[in-house]
Amino acid sequence: METMNDQPVAMPRIGDAAPEFKALTTQGDIHFPNDYKGSWVILFSHPADFTPVCTSEFITFASMEEQFGQANCKLVGLSIDGIYSHIAWLRTIKEKIEYRGMKNVEVNFPLIEDISMEVAKKYGMIQPGESTTKAVRAVFIIDPKGIVRAMIYYPLSLGRNFDELYRAVLALKTSDEFGIATPADWRPGDDVIMSPAGSCNAAKSRVEGKEEGLHCQDWFFCTKKIDKETILKKILKK
């Protein structure tokens, strides 16, 4: 549990409403998550501007912004640096930095100024074991209703895997749309997991192969094929 102004502040958990805040960003003022109702959001923090790992991450995220947009997912960044530092850093990224063939990259999603660390503390982004003045690499995936659906925390030294963040958004959307679960390493087009049978009769029917379209190895482990095109038609914008 973090503290703010000597008062205890509970970190958000999966299934909680995303903590509300108003903030200044590189794209103007925002009221979060109210301004993002109807969209999925990835809210993520980085330790500091003008640092190499963070720079590689912002180039990658900005290069994937359109891809996330097709999944109706918006990006919002945060660090405890000020707005002028943010602007100067993002300008440097566009004008000078190349990473893995990506260059002249413009960051168009908002980057929150959080000098007071108010937002970072609300979201448990300040981890005293790492630093008391820098936000760790936290990631929150928030759904269109403003509910926290996934959280991932990385230490200051570890750059994030952005393909995995995109995969997680697609998997969550697929779960919601089709009422299924997704197995390890799932990607659209792979078999999905059906919920375990809720009764002895249902379990027996599954094991005996009476439920069409299911492949059951045991009563609790049944998969189903949903083709990639069907999934993408549901979860991506045309």
pLDDT tens figures, 133-173: 788 999 999 999 999 999 999 998 999 999 999 999 999 99
Which candidate in 54, 73, 216, 222 is catalytic? 54
Q: In this structure, how many other beta carbons lie within 10 angstroms of the beta carbon of residue 106?
A: 12
Confirm whether 67 is domain-assigned: yes
pLDDT at 2: 47
Average pLDDT over residues 191-211: 83
Question: Is the predicted pLDDT of residue 99 greater than 80, yes or no?
Answer: yes
Binding residues for substrate: 137
Into how many domains does the chain fold?
A: 2
Average pLDDT over residues 197-220: 83
pLDDT at 207: 81
Confirm whether 173 is domain-assigned: no
> Do both 148 and 68 map to the same domain?
yes
> Do both 223 and 131 map to the same domain?
no
Q: Specify the pTM.
A: 0.91
Split at pLDDT 50, 70, 90, the class of 11 is confident
Q: Active-site residue 54, yes or no? A: yes
Binding residues: 137
